[in-house]
Amino acid sequence: MELAVALGAILLLAGGGAGACGPQLPEGCVCADASTRLRCRAAGLTSLPPLHDRLIELDVSGNNITALPPGALQPAASLRDLNLSANRLEAAAGALSGAALLRLWLDACALRRLPDASWPHLQLL
């Protein structure tokens, strides 16, 4: 009983009160604006947090993400802004091609070559 209450409190904190970004939101992530924004800055992540199709902005800057597997962004079909700055990203080609992204931040990543994929709408900032 007490454990259940404590767990509930932790989930509320992790979800920033919105709670709809999913039950498995990693520690350090904050969900906002009816789950359309997810911010996990410097949360020690080595991979993306759970994504969903209402997400429009995702900030995972300052983590230890080294690779985005092909299709990693597929659950976030509505994603427009992705901040991957300050990660240890080395490979992302498969994940980024086909995404509906409009804006992508990649400063201070280890990425040496951007994938050849064509992104008609993308502005690199």
Residues that bind ligand NAG (CB under 6 A): 41-42, 44, 59, 61-64, 83, 85-86, 105
91 strand-pairing partners: 67
Nearer to ligand NAG, 9 or 107 (CB): 107
Nearer to ligand NAG, 26 or 70 (CB): 26
The minimum distance between CB 102 and ligand NAG, in angstroms, equals 12
The minimum distance between CB 59 and ligand NAG, in angstroms, equals 6
Nearest one of 122, 42, 112 to 79, comparing CA atoms:
122
Q: How far is CA 20 from CA 4, 11, 116, in A?
A: 19, 10, 35
Number of alpha carbons in the 13 Å side-chain half-sphere of residue 48: 22
Nearer to ligand NAG, 12 or 125 (CB): 125
The minimum distance between CB 122 and ligand NAG, in angstroms, equals 14
Euclidean distance between CA atoms 27 and 57, whole angstroms: 18
Reading the block at residue 47, the tokens are 């991979």
Nearer to ligand NAG, 42 or 110 (CB): 42
The minimum distance between CB 63 and ligand NAG, in angstroms, equals 6
